[in-house]
Amino acid sequence: MYSAGVSTSERLIESTRELLWERGYVGTSPKAILERSGAGQGSMYHHFKGKPDLALAAIRRTAEEMRATAEAVLAGPGTPYERIEAYLLRERDVLRGCPVGRLTMDPDVIADDALRAPVDETLDWLRTRLTGIVEEGRERGEFAPVLDSAEIAAAVVATVQGGYVLARASGSPAAFDAGVRGLLALLAPRER
């Protein structure tokens, strides 16, 4: 028998994902999740052990989605520089911030190893993925040999994460764009 819509547990997870992105873990209450999902109190505690358990399911899915989105761009065509450029310039809802990175400012997420793990793994995967691309560019002569691939990769991810901070502080995506363009200018292959 096919359901006309989505399952209750599915709606709970999706509503939690939205709220975690908007308000973080500390700022998201079970009550708000229930209101958004349309589920009742009992349903939530039937499908999940509690707020941390539901949040974990939501965070895991968000992390997985972020990874897939990044991979789609990073595995695209072009030189290493062009692929990094594509990643940095890809369309983003800048003022909403990074749904994964923002969780690092949540004390209850950082304090809980299970909740922090998917955040850590995702950002670590991204750095490792970018390290490989930078390394490829170094071997090709696109990037200077003196550069450390892992350090450049960290700088790329940090610029994005920090760009969100600047944009949200100023209420405009302009600061994010400026930081990204600055980094790309520094990274750009130049005649030497």
Partner DNA sequence: GTCTATAGAACGATAGAC
Partner DNA sequence: GTCTATCGTTCTATAGAC
Binding stretches for a second copy (CB under 8 A): 22-24, 26-27, 97-98, 101-102, 104-108, 110, 116, 119-120, 123-124, 127, 144, 146-148, 150-166, 168-171, 175-176, 178-183, 185-187, 190, 192
User: Which residues in the 2-31 window bind DNA by CB under 7 A?
Assistant: 7-9, 28-31
Question: Choosing among a second copy, DNA, none, which partner's interface includes residue 151 (Cβ < 5 to 8 Å by kind)?
Answer: a second copy
The C-alpha atoms of residue 73 and residue 113 are separated, in whole angstroms, by 30
Q: Which is nearer to a second copy, 6 or 26 (CB)?
A: 26
Angle at CA 122, nearest 5°, toward 153 and 95? Answer: 80
Exposed / middle / buried, residue 104 (Cβ in 10 Å: 0-12, 13-18, 19+): middle
Does position 32 interact with DNA (CB under 7 A)? The reply is yes
Alpha-carbon distances, residue 32 vs 23, 38, 55, 103, 141 (angstroms): 11, 10, 13, 18, 53
Q: What is the binding site for DNA (CB under 7 A)? A: 7-9, 28-32, 39-43, 45-47, 50-52
